[in-house]
Amino acid sequence: MDFFKRTGQMAIGSRLRMLTDKITEDAGRIFTLYGVSIKPKWFPVFFVLSQGKTGTVTDIAKEIGHSHPSVSKIVREMLTGGLVQEIRDETDKRRNVIMLSSQGQLMAEAIKAPYADVTEAIERISEETQHDLWEALGEWEQLLEKQPLIQRVREVKKARESKSIAIVPYEPRYQPVFRSLNEEWITAHWQMEKSDYKALDHPQEYILDKGGYIFVALDAGEPVGVCALCKLDDPDYDYELAKLAVSPKAQGKGIGILLGETVIRKAMELGAQKIFLESNTILEPAIHLYRKLGFQELKGHHLSYARGNIQMKLTLVPFRNKE
């Protein structure tokens, strides 16, 4: 149809639903053709029970991949139609199990001819096509089970939006945003500490002049993220990843990971062997980001901030994107 050519893959749900509606409508006519009194929507439940199986609504729902309320409604309709019966489970009297009634068993015999004819008709359709729809559906189901469509769209969105992000070295004109972005996340949970004021009010003196670096993320020229690489006077660690902050309005674009990667690459250029950071586990997105960058939890190191409850380290190797 011209409509689907114009919409492309965006209308995949509508197209599949239209195909489903068309096949379901024909399914009803096919059952009528053979004198079989079954509604198309009953078929998955009926098929399972026709294989000699019994089970609770929960068992059936799990096997056919439908929701419990959906199967419960179908079973009630089939009970009214006289195709199934509900009996107490002999092994657990608290449960009811569903099985075909005598009428349902007769229907199971009557439907064998439609099974065979429908199967052959579909095989003939497959012979006329270049692609096997049944196998393709199986592949799609497996892929979407592994990674849902919404997650795939999020990744594409993040990749597209990250292309507009530029990471640049710090300049004095970025000091207000360096402070404001960090102050925002700190004061959301804690109070600013003395070392915060020193680094954020005087980054030149307390970070850059001591051999550190600061990077700024620009989104279409607007500063929306910052991160510092602070030189440490520590025999175990060369630098600290610190003061990583991203504006709430720019989150979800992968800016944090871009800043983290930039800082790590800079540390490697400087010949650093280990990077340290301190954070708090209440900041779950930040901890997740650090782990993606390769940081591992560190035990027994002295806490620098009152708000800190976790320290992490990164032993540098040739850097690879963890996404």
120 and 218 fall within a common domain:
no
Q: Of 129, 154, 179, which residue constitutes the final position of a domain?
A: 154
**Can you tell me the distance from the alpha carbon of 272 to that of 275, in angstroms, rounded to the nearest whole number?**
8
114 and 237 fall within a common domain:
no
What residue numbers bound the domain in which 300 lies?
A: 165-315
Q: Does residue 126 lie in a domain region? A: yes
Residue whose structure tokens are 């959906």:
70
Q: Show the tokens assigned to 116.
A: 């065979």
Q: Does residue 179 lie in a domain region? A: yes
Q: In this predicted structure, which of 6-15, 67-76, 136-145 has the lowest mean pLDDT?
A: 6-15
User: 268: domain CATH number?
Assistant: 3.40.630.30
Q: Does residue 8 lie in a domain region? A: yes
Q: Of 121, 154, 187, which residue constitutes the final position of a domain?
A: 154
* Residue 10 or 45, more confident: 45
Would you say 243 and 216 are in contact if contact means Cβ atoms under 8 Å apart? no
147 and 169 fall within a common domain:
no
Q: Does residue 202 lie in a domain region? A: yes
The pLDDT score that the predictor gives to residue 256 is 94
181 and 247 fall within a common domain:
yes
Q: Does residue 320 lie in a domain region? A: no
In the chain, count H helices and then E strands: 14, 9
242 and 104 fall within a common domain:
no
What 3-state DSSP class applies to 305? coil
237 and 277 fall within a common domain:
yes
The pLDDT score that the predictor gives to residue 1 is 59
Q: Does residue 110 lie in a domain region? A: yes
Domain count, the chain: 2
205 and 113 fall within a common domain:
no
Q: Does residue 220 lie in a domain region? A: yes
pLDDT tens sequence across 263-273: 999 999 999 99
Give the confidence band of 301 by pLDDT, cuts at 50, 70, 90.
Answer: low
> How are the residues of the chain apportioned to helix, strand and coil, as percentages rounded to the nearest 5?
55, 20, 25
- Cβ contacts of residue 253 below 8 Å, gap of 6+? 158, 161, 162, 165, 219
275 and 144 fall within a common domain:
no
Q: Is the dihedral of CA 177, 180, 184, 186 positive or negative?
A: positive
User: 91: domain CATH number?
Assistant: 1.10.10.10
300 and 193 fall within a common domain:
yes
> If you average pLDDT over every residue of the chain, what do you get?
89
Most confident of 38-42, 144-148, 291-295: 291-295
pLDDT tens sequence across 87-108: 887 777 678 889 999 999 999 9
Q: Is the dihedral of CA 88, 92, 98, 102 positive or negative?
A: negative
Using CB atoms within 10 Å of the CB of residue 129, give its burial: 0 to 12 exposed, 13 to 18 middle, 19+ buried: exposed
The pLDDT score that the predictor gives to residue 302 is 67
pLDDT tens sequence across 109-163: 988 888 889 889 888 888 898 888 888 888 888 898 899 888 888 888 877 777 7
Confidence (pTM): 0.59
Of the chain, the end-to-end C-alpha distance in Å amounts to 38
pLDDT tens sequence across 209-239: 999 999 999 998 999 999 999 999 888 899 9
Q: Report H helices in the chain.
A: 2-7, 12-33, 43-50, 57-64, 68-80, 102-110, 112-128, 133-146, 149-162, 175-187, 194-201, 203, 255-269, 284-292
Q: Of 128, 154, 180, which residue constitutes the final position of a domain?
A: 154
